[in-house]
Structure 1
Amino acid sequence: MHDFFAEHPLLLAPMAGVTDEAFRALCREQGASLAYTEMVSAKGLSFANEKTRHLLRLAPGEDLVAVQLFGHEPAVMAEQAAWIEHTMGDTLAYLDINMGCPARKIVTKGDGSALMCDPALAASIVSAVRDAVNHPVTVKFRRGFKIGEETAPEFARRMEAAGACAVTVHGRFSEQLYRGSADWDVIAKVKRSVAIPVVGNGDVRCGADAVALREKTGCDAIMIGRGAEGNPWVFAQVKAALAGEEEPALPSVAERLAMARRHAHLLAEREGRNIVRMRKHAMWYMTGLPRAATARGKINACVTPEDFDKVFDDLLAFAAAHDSAHNPASSAFVNKEAN
């Protein structure tokens, strides 16, 4: 897969409740080479659960996507991986197995990062899925499970031996959740430990971060997760930085609110008028904006696209008035951007 990642070096991470069709479309437009679906439960698919199958729908114009499965039963994982491959055909880039999610509700069932505690079972899952499909199989995991017990390099070798075509490493221990900082040294160690491609993940929030991660680790591709929340523009900035080009300017208030508005309407087109799930996205888009704290209470009551539009309109009007009071020349720019 070295050639694949040479052509697709910038990935949007799989995030439950976040990487919906609308968000993937916006991130791809901004420069993400490839996006993952939200992580998909193999057990849910085995029950023909429509809510689970819904996660596999493609965004408009999305011609290629990676799918991440989670579970701990090799036979179920293999069966559902084969079903995904048959269903998605050429739009499937590869299948990824989640062995890094630290969420309690996932780990307590033996899924996600819990598999790092049982390398033999993890390897059997990879082998079973690899034998069941023709597409590449990759694995995403963490620095280790328990804080202070770094097992990623050895775990990566085990996954490679089991048939994984590439691995993604997040530089935190599972017990850290998302606290503290990601350790990029472990990504470099994994890179030196295996012959397959290694994707680096953790704490990439701007172009400079991506350049530093690549230089420090030699990773074959970079995956961005939380750094893209409310900030699809991070992909344009990282893409430019990795190419040695000048990064685009940070988005204005009007541009941020316009993207949030577009996100809400794209979501409504795909999922109907009840877009409660847009609330968290809206919060992220508004982070740091004038009067954002006041707007959060209103966002928590939003349901329809029009509800969100009203909040965005109020924020834009306040920003224009605020800028006009401090810099009369800037208000025309804010209003022009909004049109």
Structure 2
Amino acid sequence: MVRIGSIELNDFPLLLAPMEDVSDPPFRAVCKANGADLMYTEFISSEGLIRDAAKSVQKLDIFDYEHPIGIQLFGSDIETMRSCAEIATRARPDLIDINYGCPVKNVACRGAGAALLQDIPKMVKMTEAVVKATHLPVTVKTRLGWDESTKNIMEVAERLQDIGIQALSVHGRTRVQMYKGTADWTLIGRLKENPRLTIPIFGNGDIDSPQKALEYKNRYGVDGVMIGRASIGYPWIFNEIKHFLRTGEQLAPPTLADRVEVCRKHLDFSVRWKGEITGLLEMRRHYTNYFRGMNHFKPYRMRLVESLSLPEIHDILHEIAEVYGAEEPAAL
């Protein structure tokens, strides 16, 4: 069993990574239903939360079935992050997570996210302020370092554990790498070998199959893995990994009917939570992923992304199920 403070997780839990504009409640719902053990909100701007910005406040929405779940915060000002930890605690998550890993310019260039990897003393002070501001477990997600010459994750892990974090998730790339190249898990494995570290260490980066999850579990000894991009349009990856770890056998891939049904559930929740227009617009990024690999799918994709009518999109999904269902599995 893996413990994060008072939270008890199964051996080798599978975590859904916080992803901006992706891991909202509708997306989390389909991942939870398909085996995600611990999930996080999209990262929330501390500045936005302090200003009571509608988008930031909405990201605090948590539903009963989602537990255990963490709210992830990012920011560049220590006092603002402390205040936001208090606000986030009132939303009743199971933990508060701090983002020290986001590499995108509009975050890092403002002194937040991965930028704190260039200022470890400030990172420590900010983390300590958040730890003191909440009774909930505080965890951190970060990267190996800013660039190849400053892979300081060992120092970061030790110092953050010393001031009270309860778990650490590490993406196996530097900030400079962004999401390019192959994630390097070597240093993640060394964290697990460090006798000074007693908190759970979760690895993140390039886990896109049950086979790779098992390989990295055995090779690097991590307490669990965090899955991000591989789950977009394919929430089945969580149960597939669990089944493979338990039996050594690969689950059959989702059928076309499965893909249509989960896409439909995701769509309906998106509309209920965001309103019809916004819900339909924001689902557009998911259609290609749900039906990835289907032959001659472009005309259907165009119809799906051009429609602003929920009944019409349901009709298109029904048509996809009928047209491609007769060809399965060749259509996938």
TM-score by length of 1: 0.89
2:297 to 286, 292, 296: 292
Question: Partner of 1:232 in structure 2?
Answer: 235
Q: Does the aligned pair in 2 maintain the 1:201–1:223 contact within 8 Å?
A: yes
Give the counterpart letter for 1:219 in structure 2: V
Instruction: Give the structure with the higher percent helix.
Output: 1
1:67-106 equivalence runs, <5 A = 67-85=71-89, 87-89=90-92, 92-106=93-107
Contact kept, 8 Å, 1:290 with 1:319, in 2: the verdict is no
CA contact (8 A) 2:71 2:95 kept: yes
C-alpha distance after superposition, 1:11-53 (max 9, x if no partner): 1111111111111111111111121111111111101122211
Q: Is the 8 A contact 2:62 2:91 kept in 1?
A: no
1:246 is matched with: 249
What residue number does 1:186 align with?
187
TM-fit CA distance, 1:247: 3.7
Q: Distance in 2 between matches of 1:59 and 1:145?
A: 35
Relative to 1, partners in 2 of residues 1:2 and 1:318: Cα closer, same or farther, differing over 3 Å? closer
| Conserved? CA contact 2:101–2:175, under 8 Å | yes
1:221–1:323 Cα change, 3 Å: closer
- The aligned residue for residue 9 of structure 2 is 7
SS, match of residue 200 in structure 1: strand
Contact conserved, 1:290 with 1:315, CA < 8 A, in 2?
A: no
Partner of residue 138, structure 2: 137
The question of whether the paired residues in 2 share the 8 Å contact of 1:261 and 1:308 is answered with no
Q: Deviations over 1:246-269 (max 9, x none)?
A: 342111122112211121012112
Q: 1:270 Cα deviation (Å)?
A: 1.7
Instruction: Give the CA deviation at 1:149.
Output: 3.5
Tell me how large the CA RMSD over aligned residues is: 2.2
Task: Give me the whole-angstrom Cα distance separating, in 2, the residues matched to 1:103 and 1:168.
Answer: 18
* Contact preservation (8 Å) 1:22, 1:263: yes
Q: Which residue of 2 aligns with 1:337?
A: none
1:43 corresponds in structure 2 to 47
Note if contact 1:279-1:302 (Cα within 8 Å) is conserved in structure 2: no
Cα distance in 2 for residues equivalent to 1:294 and 1:287: 14
Distance in 1 of aligned mates of 2:309 and 2:130? 40
Residue 187 and residue 322 in structure 1: after superposition, are their counterparts in 2 closer, same or farther (change >3 A)? same
Change (3 A) 1:185 1:42: same
* Preserved CA contact (<8 Å) 1:253 1:289: no
Query: SS of the residue aligned with 2:170?
Result: strand
CA contact (8 A) 2:3 2:200 kept: no
Which of 11, 18, 40 is the matching residue for 2:22? 18
1:168-317 pair list within 5 angstroms: 168-193=169-194, 194-244=197-247, 246-274=249-277, 275=279, 276-317=281-322
Counterpart of 1:225 in structure 2: which amino acid?
Answer: G
Partner-residue secondary structure (3-state), 2:171: strand
Gaps of 5+ in 2: none
1:107 deviation in Å?
0.9
Question: How much does 1:119 deviate?
Answer: 0.6
Deviation at 1:139, TM superposition (A): 0.8
> Is the 8 Å Cα contact of residues 25 and 59 (structure 1) preserved in structure 2?
no
Cα distance between partner residues in 2 of 1:53 and 1:296: 32
**294-303 or 100-109, which deviates more:** 294-303
SS state at 2:84 partner: helix
TM-score by length of 2: 0.91
